[in-house]
Amino acid sequence: MRYSSFIVLQAALATSASALTCNPLQLDWGTWKAAPESTDSLCVYKDVRFASSPTGDLRFAAPEYPPDAKSGKSSVDSPVCVAMTETKCVKNPSKSDSCFPHTFGNPTEDCLFLDIYVPKEATLSQQKVPVIVWFYGGAFVFGSKTQYQKPGKLNFYGGNGIVSPSVSDSPVIFVVPNYRLGAFGWLSGTYMEEHAQPNAGLLDQRAALQFVQDSIGQLNGDKTQVSVWGESAGASSILHHMVVPQESYPPLFQKALLQSPAYQFLWDRKGVLNDTFTRFAEAVAAKTPNCQAANIDCLRSADFAVLTKVNQDLFNEVACEGIFPVGPAVDNKLILDIPTNLFQDAKNVIPLDSVLVSHVDQEIPKSSSSAGFSFIPLPIRQHPTDPSKFDDFLDEFLSGDSYAGIRSSIQAQYPSANYDDQADRARHVIMDSSFLCNTRVVIDGYLSQKKQVWAFDYVFLQKYGRANHASDLVPTFSSSDINYFDLFDCLIKVWAIKGLIAKIISSFVSNTLGPGMISYFVSFSVTGNPNKTPHSQTTWQPAQIIDGKVNNVIQARGELNPFSPIIDEQNTDQICGFWKQVAADITTAYDNSGVSDIEIAPKMEEQATFEEL
């Protein structure tokens, strides 16, 4: 389509769309009308139920889809799943800066709802339109579909800029579901495998995708053109969906965009994972009258407030050690091995049309003033020159005699002499193992299938030390609803950057960086190729591996040419080949160990409150 013709068509569609009304969404379990947030060009459907309430017998169970016909609507406005409260050791990435609004909705156990953003022009299209589904990040313990919501404004995750008609010559529909967090969605281990549902959060996401398959056609969405997007925990959720057994869990999307996929290896079903369940269940039983045993029946009968308190205690207990207690885990059914291992064989990887993978320049910052620095264990931050604190961290990550050789190999690969201090040493270990090399295994997995893969690197504001984990979300979700001048004026004061540069930065993000990234990403979701867009910018070539490095990576930066091709030096064969071997060695050591020899942690003690921490 010629660009001039595109402009004329868009103008005609905009005029027609403004006169359209938003049709109700009619489901077997209720009817949802467009919310007051709808505009002349956008229909917004809020709090649409996609699964039955995960309470009672459905607590710690797979989501029930389709929902029971009597499920009805939410009893609260903007329902969100229960999240952890941040501690001194780990900051909530959603609330890492005072410059962002912090309205998240109302926490409730009945939280499996989603929001849908439909441009009115989509209803005028003669063809079904592509769909994008967003999975939020937050380390599997934070986050919601209404993250950064400002009262009276569209949700930051609403994708107003993404569905804007100026982005692509095809309208898109944007869907944002909740999924269960913390112990509510991610308890695992052999007991959970036998009596409940490990990785329930992943199945919540699949239920949302199944909803799209079954119902998005009502809004003129194309169920055969579904892209999943995610950042951090959301991206690593997608990574896990890429390696589920296809005969039991057929693919529900065709394209995937992963920004900074982040997770920790969780594989010890008989030891650590089962022990986490036991400690959680025992703590709940101790606070629940008439619980005869720390089992699933007790958990399903327990008071919601008790579960919420123990959920927080579980997080507090290990947060300072740099280890998250829950997340996607090997469960012998949905996730059969550490994903890094599964990606080594192309037959394990679900076939997709196209994949886009990105990371930021410094997933964990060097500066202790940045929220992302809290990924480094507190004892190392407090004693950065003490090598024993690094050793303690490795002992937590890989406990037991079976893994002694792997711990030694990590020590040798990351010798103290190569780093500023033990904090810098730990920063590189965590950044490589839990962030950067996840991008490489996805790239390698799909290149082995002869698929097109697109690689992206975000370095904007790195000269100020601010191209850190999640910093790429602002341009990804840029829209006219965000006052960038006020935002960056606030950020510059918080960051102590000298000079009157807020106006320059805000103009660059709102006029160049944001629209450029969105046009690349939406073009990718519509066509499988990020270059097919009316915007004129750098041509992006598919990724190639040359001399052990990812080539044709588009780098987003704040220079005259904001999008430039580079060779990625952060996820090379030398770095990520080592972590691929670590993953393989972990599985081998675990398979050969018989009953796990990992130390069982003591019973959970009563935890301090957030204020005391």
- The first and second tokens of residue 452, run together, are 């097109």
- The first and second tokens of residue 518, run together, are 């969105």
DSSP of 436-495: IHHHHHHHHHHHTTT-EEEEEEE-TTGGGT--BTTTTHHHHT--TTS-HHHHHHHHHHHH
Give the H or E element holding residue 23: none
More confident residue, 511 or 119: 119
Count the neighbouring beta carbons within 10 Å of the beta carbon of residue 602. 8
- What pLDDT sits at residue 606? 40
- Residue 232 among the catalytic residues: yes
* Residue appearing with tokens 């100026």: 166
- At 103, is the secondary structure helix, strand, or coil? strand
113-119 vs 452-458, strand pairing mode: unpaired
- What pLDDT sits at residue 249? 97
Query: Mean pLDDT across the chain, nearest whole number?
Result: 86
486 falls in which pLDDT band (50, 70, 90)?
A: low
The pLDDT tens digits of the residues spanning 557-602 come to 876 789 999 999 999 999 999 999 999 999 999 876 544 433 333 3
- What pLDDT sits at residue 598? 36
DSSP of 510-532: IIIIHHHHHHHHHHHHHHS-TT-
- What pLDDT sits at residue 605? 44
The pLDDT tens digits of the residues spanning 120-133 come to 988 888 889 999 99
Per-residue pLDDT for 391 more than 90? yes
Q: Which of 31-35, 197-201, 257-261, 362-366 has the lowest mean pLDDT?
A: 362-366
**74-88: burial string, b at 16+ Cβ within 10 Å, e else:** beeebbbbbbbebbe
129-135 vs 221-231, strand pairing mode: parallel
Per-residue pLDDT for 59 more than 90? yes
- Cα–Cα distance for residue pair 165/103, rounded to 1 Å: 28
Per-residue pLDDT for 10 more than 70? no
- What pLDDT sits at residue 612? 24
- Cα–Cα distance for residue pair 56/63, rounded to 1 Å: 12
Burial of 422 (0-12, 13-18, 19+ CB in 10 A): buried
What does pTM read for this prediction? 0.91
Average pLDDT in the 411-426 region? 97
Q: Which of 295-299, 331-335, 486-490, 531-535 has the lowest mean pLDDT?
A: 486-490
DSSP state of 290: T
Give the H or E element holding residue 589: helix 573-592
Average pLDDT in the 284-300 region? 92
- What pLDDT sits at residue 252? 98
Percent of the chain scored above 70 by pLDDT? 82
DSSP state of 373: G
* Residue appearing with tokens 């060009």: 41
25-27 vs 30-32, strand pairing mode: antiparallel
DSSP state of 607: P
- What pLDDT sits at residue 599? 36
- The first and second tokens of residue 465, run together, are 């030390």
Closest of 274, 294, 291 to residue 282, by C-alpha = 294
Per-residue pLDDT for 166 more than 90? no
Domains of the chain as residue ranges with CATH: 3-282+320-477+568-592 (3.40.50.1820)
Closest of 46, 47, 136 to residue 94, by C-alpha = 136
Residues 6+ apart with CB under 8 A from 501: 492
The pLDDT tens digits of the residues spanning 214-239 come to 999 999 999 999 999 999 999 999 99
Q: Is the Cβ–Cβ distance between 509 and 475 less than 8 Å? A: yes
Per-residue pLDDT for 269 more than 80? yes
- What pLDDT sits at residue 91? 58
- Cα–Cα distance for residue pair 234/239, rounded to 1 Å: 9
Q: Which of 87-96, 422-431, 508-517, 530-539 has the lowest mean pLDDT?
A: 87-96
Count the neighbouring beta carbons within 10 Å of the beta carbon of residue 395. 15
- Cα–Cα distance for residue pair 468/260, rounded to 1 Å: 10
- What pLDDT sits at residue 4? 41
Residues 6+ apart with CB under 8 A from 345: none
Q: Which of 90-94, 134-138, 339-343 has the lowest mean pLDDT?
A: 90-94
467 falls in which pLDDT band (50, 70, 90)?
A: confident
Q: Which amino acid is present at 453?
A: V
Per-residue pLDDT for 494 more than 70? no
- Cα–Cα distance for residue pair 11/224, rounded to 1 Å: 28
Per-residue pLDDT for 456 more than 90? yes
- Cα–Cα distance for residue pair 120/346, rounded to 1 Å: 40
- What pLDDT sits at residue 531? 92
More confident residue, 293 or 164: 293
Closest of 232, 239, 48, 277 to residue 141, by C-alpha = 232
- Cα–Cα distance for residue pair 241/244, rounded to 1 Å: 6
Average pLDDT in the 396-411 region? 94
The winner for highest mean pLDDT among 53-62, 80-89, 135-144 is 53-62
149 falls in which pLDDT band (50, 70, 90)?
A: low
Q: Which of 144, 215, 232, 478 is catalytic?
A: 232
Q: What is the CA radius of gyration of the chain?
A: 23
Q: Which of 26-40, 297-311, 500-514 has the lowest mean pLDDT?
A: 500-514
- The first and second tokens of residue 492, run together, are 């510059």
Percent of the chain scored above 90 by pLDDT? 61
Average pLDDT in the 182-186 region? 97
